[in-house]
Chains A and B, each alone.
Chain A
Amino acid sequence: MIRIDSLTKRYGDLAAVDDVSFTAFPGRVTGFLGPNGAGKSTTLRVLTGLATPTTGRATVLGRRYPDLPNPGLEVGVLLDASAQHGGRTGRETLVLAQRTMGLPPIRVDEMLDLVGLTWAEGKRRVRDYSLGMRQRLGLATALMGDPRVLVLDEPANGLDPAGIRWMRDLLRGFADDGGTVLLSSHLLSEIEMIADDIVMIGHGQIVASGATHELLGGVGTLVRADDDARLTAALVSAGFQATPRGDGAVATDAGLAAAGEVAFCAGLPVTELRTADGHGLEDMFLELTAADQREDISSRRTTLAEGVAA
């Protein structure tokens, strides 16, 4: 379990993280989503004791990270795969972690095996590794102590599609075993595939959080007919909310079957009928990214909130 409690981190006047609170639960993968520079990495650095918070606190397994006697055995951390000594071999990098944590030497080969690095690759210097290989190596370090919590910053960066699939399966298995996973990403598609819960951050503040299916669902159904005005009217008179989108399509909170039935009864040939999932969160995410250039963040946040409610 990870608990972030009213966490604020200021650099001079700039609040990189501004009163952030959320919890990552055991047995679930929590996706920490936000555009670059939103405060994800800063939050994770405070969480892992690499930075001190200005105010607020962050705990892992009920304790501040720096108070854990041997943190590698409780929390697997991978904050930046490229931050590994280029002059060391991959294997040596793991040996240092194994010795620091006081684990048997066999763990090194087990971990190389687990993350799919061959014996020959382990002998190569990290300098000659691709980013994907560094991610695997970093993950091997994180998993070595058999921790109950994983904290990963952009772990899919540099992985090929097969690697991303592998990582997703691994994290899924870890969470299904009762582990807590907190991973950050600036890609919604990546997060929505793996995360059970999503915490979305922008400009240092949480803008949305909740179960993935709730955030992605709730946007209802999209139905299209030639006469969208009549379709809207029919849906409304059937007791549903309906909003024409202006391009012939109507967004409604009716289910797929109900929306189709209403259109059929109204004698309107439907040309498109599907769930509008993903778009709510994606629109919100895009707005957030676009809002980087704008000042009126708070007003954006209100429209975003309405967007989700709709």
Chain B
Amino acid sequence: MSAPALDAVVERRATTHRLPIPLSRLIDVESRKLVDTRSSRWLLAAVPLLTLIVVTGVTLWGREDEVTFGMHTTTNMMPLELLLPLVAVLSVAGEWSQRAALTTFALVPRRGRVMVAKAAALLVVTLAATVTVVVLSAIGTAVATRVRGIEAVWDLPLDLALRLAVANVVVVAFGFGVGVAIRSTAPAMVAYLGFMFVVPMLSSVVAGLWTWWAENGPWFDLSWSTSFVTAPEISGDQWAQLATSALLWIVLPTVLAVRRLLRVEIR
């Protein structure tokens, strides 16, 4: 019998009967972390608050042809698309910036499970936020018909609603990937916002100068291909473009970054 094995026998309390930590418990903990600091709570609270402002604005002052359920919903998703990815960035990078990772990974040495739990918690929050926006938009549409006497147009087909959810998941996944790759709150946030605002701008400039990019850009430019998803109609080619650009910007970098995260020394 080897020395370490002997230690286990000698020790007063055996360790073998311990149950491993179930993933559901980690998801519960990671969900809680999304709202238990002042910054994360405000960021998350800003989503419904901003949505409410946009909903109210569109309901009361929007052009009549824009105050339909479908248009309402698409417009109202904007605060969510902007802010939820920042929640994702914070959820990962915050562990390192605040060095809480030291406790997190001492309690759960299987780091991959922590990352899966974080991703799952973010997915739940994203879907819940999407549903909330749809409900708020419905209320806004109903209020607009009452207050302004506009005829209600309930034009949100199920497939568009689902595609809005997909678009939200895509941007949040990108934010998550940025957080895992950069692991420091401020630089990760800058990188994310840079991608949101600078890349589309550059891409459209390049498209204006280079016709090849104007035709083929969406295969590579994630923000471009994501914009197809929330359009009233989407083609099979456009789905393929979303897939290739997501592979390039989300799947590949996230997989590489997670692999590194599993090995890196936690200080």
Contact = CB atoms under 8 A, between A and B. Distances in A.
Interface string A21-64: 00000100000000000000000010011111000010101110
Nearest to A149: B11
A73 B25 CA distance: 15
A178 to B, nearest CB: 6
Q: Which residue among B9, B20, B100 has the maximum number of chain A CB atoms within 10 Å of its CB? A: B100
B18 A85 contact: no
Interface in A291-310: none
B18 A66 contact: no
B109 interface: yes
B246 to A, nearest CB: 31
Contact of B109 (A49, A57, A86): A49
Q: Which residue among B12, B15, B40 has the maximum number of chain A CB atoms within 10 Å of its CB? A: B15
B7 A66 contact: no
Interface in B2-23: 3-13, 15, 18-21
Interface in B30-72: 32-33, 36-40
A49 B37 contact: no
B250 to A, nearest CB: 27
A100 B108 contact: yes
A1 B10 CA distance: 9
Given A3-B3, A85-B37, A87-B37, A96 B32 contact: yes
B14 to A, nearest CB: 9
Contacts of B99: 80, 82-84
Interface string B202-229: 0000000000000000000000000000
Nearest to A48: B106
A59 B11 CA distance: 13
Contacts of A202: none
Majority secondary structure of chain B interface residues (helix, strand, loop or mixed)? helix
Interface string A76-119: 01011011111110001101110111100000000000000000
A65 B98 CA distance: 24
Contacts of A83: 98-103
Contact of A52 (B5, B11, B98, B263): B263
A178 B266 contact: no
Interface of B: 3-13, 15, 18-21, 25-26, 28-29, 32-33, 36-40, 94, 98-103, 105-110, 263, 265-267
Question: 3 shortest A-B CB distances, which residue pairs?
Answer: A62-B8, A87-B37, A83-B99
12 contacts: A3-B7, A45-B267, A48-B106, A57-B4, A62-B6, A69-B15, A70-B20, A83-B102, A84-B99, A86-B98, A88-B36, A100-B29
Given A70-B18, A71-B107, 16 more contacts: A50-B267, A59-B4, A61-B8, A62-B11, A62-B15, A66-B109, A68-B15, A79-B102, A85-B98, A85-B100, A93-B103, A95-B32, A97-B107, A99-B32, A101-B21, A178-B12
